[in-house]
Amino acid sequence: MIDKALRLILIKQCSIAINRRYRQLSLTACVFVLFCIYLPDNAMSQTNVLTVGSFNSLKEGMAPPEWAVKEWKGKADAQVVKDDSSKALRLRSAKTSTALYKKMSFNIKDYPYLNWRWKVTKIPVGGDVRKKNTDDQAAQIYVVFPKFPSQINSRMLGYIWDTGAPAGSEVISAKLSTTRYIVLKSGAGELGKWFSEKRNVYEDYKRLFNEEPPKVGSVALMIDSDDTKTSAESFFGDIYFSRE
């Protein structure tokens, strides 16, 4: 944000330059400086935020176009829906395992905080991230850190809403050793309620992987109920990284 003193100095400099018929500063430069001065404060602060997904402006009934779909088992059911006064991305699973992911590339130290809103309305009965044969969750958000060779060595840090593992649990995936989970919500006690989350991904990564993180390669949203052969439903609001 440009403070008032700096604004006054810039305005004065532009005024002097214009009065001298642009001998010291061109009209184009003045226009640019004045544009910066009167740029709204929220626009000036946009560099502090890196948007992952913003669903309010999207058409209902469709999956967000900037996200790719991955289907491990069954067909993905993901679409933007109206929820109360805003829009959200709804994920549903019926004995399926699917995900949406968005490719990104940045240093997590520059934007260490992941922010999002989520709501779960149905959890996979019997799901438990601690067991390989019941590893189903209604809501999962992953930050993916590619490491060569990426297909077998990439790190995945997942924040999940589990059925059986207690909130606060930190788990190494029973299916893939390069994946770490942090259970933020658990069970059916808070179904149907929206929650806002904020995590320091940089610090979580260092603690769980005991190393400095490589660059972020993508963010993924996942839902699955194939292991328990049940069903699940969840909603995600806007998702973004921030500096603070």
Summarised one tens digit per residue, pLDDT across range 51-94 is 999 999 999 999 999 999 999 999 999 999 999 889 999 999 99
Residues 6+ apart with CB under 8 A from 133: 227
Q: Tell me the domain boundaries of the chain.
A: 4-39, 48-242
| 3-class secondary structure, 173 | coil
Residue with tokens 């059986």: 164
pLDDT digit string, tens, across residues 188-205 = 999 999 999 999 999 999
What CATH topology corresponds to 48-242? Jelly Rolls (2.60.120)
